[in-house]
């Protein structure tokens, strides 16, 4: 078991479940920047995929499984996967009675071992920050059918210098050893074709806390904290495609604020 698996198996599970339950209750809207994503955010995101009845759907990093019934409302052909056995065990216990056809698998998003061209949709919600992003995109391209779609959310490397909540969250995550990578979104968008995808829809959340409030822009701002993209697979890519450096553990904003 590598360090990443250890992190997600030990301790994080209880913390995350508690955080989500506080987020769903939205104890205080003033607290929203310190909270996570609500089930309503999840539901709204999945809706964007336009899943048609019983198309095969892969959820990467399904955590304790709160996305399962949301996807199951559209398709019973769901594969729920996560790097953490603890998460998958809990998801299985909780959601198998409600969603009996869901299939579970412990695997890394970067290497799922599913057949190529198998899935019509992939959901990667609140997970991409933890991944080796280029490898994960290559794997998503491999397992998606041509014309299939991918929903992905993440954090942008260029957020506002004045977004103190975002800066504190970045520093805090590093202190806890939380796997956390910031995407260079403009660069990712410029390499979409090389990665075999096209852009179907996009939402940009300028400040930390905006995601929870569903406050987003469609035009890409110069600086923003979070993003949600729906990408369509246009073609197979030949792997490996070379190192594109699409993400890094220290954001450009952090480097700018702390320089000199």
Ligand X SMILES: C[S@@+](CC[C@H](N)C(=O)[O-])C[C@H]1O[C@@H](n2cnc3c(N)ncnc32)[C@H](O)[C@@H]1O
Smallest gap from residue 94 Cβ to ligand X (A) = 12
Query: Do the beta carbons of residue 200 and residue 231 sit within 8 Å?
Result: yes
- What tokens were used for 80? 């729920």
| Residue 230 near ligand X by CB under 6 A | no
> Measured from the CB atom, is 135 or 223 closer to ligand X?
135
| 148: three-class secondary structure by DSSP | strand
Which of the 8 DSSP states describes residue 240?
P
Smallest gap from residue 256 Cβ to ligand X (A) = 26
> Measured from the CB atom, is 87 or 162 closer to ligand X?
87
Segment (H or E) for 122 = strand 119-124
The whole-angstrom separation of Cα 152 and Cα 180 is: 15
> Measured from the CB atom, is 132 or 254 closer to ligand X?
132
Alpha-helical regions (H) of the chain: 3-9, 12-25, 39-47, 68-72, 85-95, 133-143, 164-176, 185-190, 210-213, 252-258
> Measured from the CB atom, is 174 or 255 closer to ligand X?
174
> Measured from the CB atom, is 62 or 134 closer to ligand X?
62
Smallest gap from residue 108 Cβ to ligand X (A) = 4
| Residue 150 near ligand X by CB under 6 A | no
Q: Would you give the end-to-end CA distance of the chain in angstroms?
A: 39
Site for ligand X in 71-130 (CB under 6 A): 82-84, 87, 108-110, 125-127, 130
| Residue 204 near ligand X by CB under 6 A | no
Sign of CA dihedral 224, 227, 233, 234: negative
**Residue count, binding to ligand X (CB under 6 A):** 22
Q: Which of 145, 95, 86, 152 is nearest to 123 (CA)?
A: 152
Sign of CA dihedral 114, 116, 122, 128: positive
Smallest gap from residue 211 Cβ to ligand X (A) = 11
Site for ligand X in 29-68 (CB under 6 A): 37, 60-63, 66-67
> Measured from the CB atom, is 81 or 149 closer to ligand X?
81
Residues lying near ligand X in the complex (CB under 6 A) are found at 4, 8, 16, 37, 60-63, 66-67, 82-84, 87, 108-110, 125-127, 130-131
């Amino acid at each position: 078991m590598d360090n990443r698996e250890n992190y997600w198996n030990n301790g994080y599970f209880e913390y995350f479940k508690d955080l989500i339950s506080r987020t769903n209750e939205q104890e205080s809207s003033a607290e929203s920047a310190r909270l996570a994503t609500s089930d309503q955010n999840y539901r709204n995101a999945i809706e964007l995929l336009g899943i048609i009845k019983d198309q095969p759907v892969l959820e990467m990093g399904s955590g304790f499984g709160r996305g399962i019934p949301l996807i199951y409302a559209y398709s019973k052909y769901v594969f729920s996967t996560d790097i953490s056995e603890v998460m998958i065990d809990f998801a299985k216990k909780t959601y198998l009675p409600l969603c009996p056809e869901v299939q579970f698998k412990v695997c890394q998003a970067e290497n799922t071992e599913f057949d190529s061209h198998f899935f019509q949709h992939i959901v990667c919600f609140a997970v991409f920050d933890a991944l080796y992003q280029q490898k994960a995109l290559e794997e998503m391209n491999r397992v998606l059918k041509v014309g299939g779609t991918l929903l992905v959310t993440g954090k942008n490397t260029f957020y506002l210098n004045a977004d103190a909540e975002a800066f504190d969250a970045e520093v805090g995550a590093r202190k806890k050893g939380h796997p956390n990578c910031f995407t260079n979104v403009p660069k990712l968008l410029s390499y979409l074709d090389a990665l075999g995808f096209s852009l179907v829809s996009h939402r940009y959340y300028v400040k930390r806390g905006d995601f929870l409030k569903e406050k987003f822009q469609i035009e890409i701002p110069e600086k923003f904290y979070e993003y949600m993209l729906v990408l369509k697979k246009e073609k197979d890519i030949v792997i490996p495609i070379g190192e594109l450096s699409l993400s890094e553990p220290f954001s450009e904003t952090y480097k700018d604020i702390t320089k000199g």
